[in-house]
Amino acid sequence: MIVHFFSSNKYTVLVFLTKLKTKLFSLRSIVRSPIYSHFAETLSGAPSIRAYDCAPRFVAESEGKVDSFARVYYYCIIVNRWLGTR
């Protein structure tokens, strides 16, 4: 009875982590997209950004987007590790 509890519990955790992995990978691509678009906009508007002295604002906005991506990416790595040790 104890062995059956642990095996069914392990299966439940694996199913949960597999679903979580799928959702995290889609979230990762959703969070990554604004980084690319902000970078492209920054490059195309670089002369205007320099002229109006808005570089610190753009740097702060870019860092915020990269931080949110890093948070999601960290959880993706954790889930992959847990699924790898099953």
Confidence of residue 7 (pLDDT cuts 50, 70, 90): low
CA distances 57 to 48, 51, 74, 84, Å, are 13, 13, 26, 41
The answer to whether position 4 is within a domain reads no
Cα angle: 76, vertex 85, 82; to 5 degrees: 25
The answer to whether position 18 is within a domain reads yes
Residue 46, both tokens: 């670089």
pLDDT of residue 14 exceeding 80: yes
The answer to whether position 73 is within a domain reads yes
Q: How many domains does the chain have?
A: 1
The pLDDT tens digits for 24-68 are 999 999 999 999 999 999 999 999 999 999 999 999 999 999 999
CA distances 75 to 15, 58, 64, 66, 81, Å, are 17, 26, 17, 14, 10
The answer to whether position 2 is within a domain reads no
**Domain range for 78:** 9-84
Confidence of residue 9 (pLDDT cuts 50, 70, 90): confident
The answer to whether position 42 is within a domain reads yes
From the CA atom positions of the chain, what is the Rg in Å? 20
pLDDT at 4: 52
Mean pLDDT computed over 11-32: 91
The answer to whether position 3 is within a domain reads no
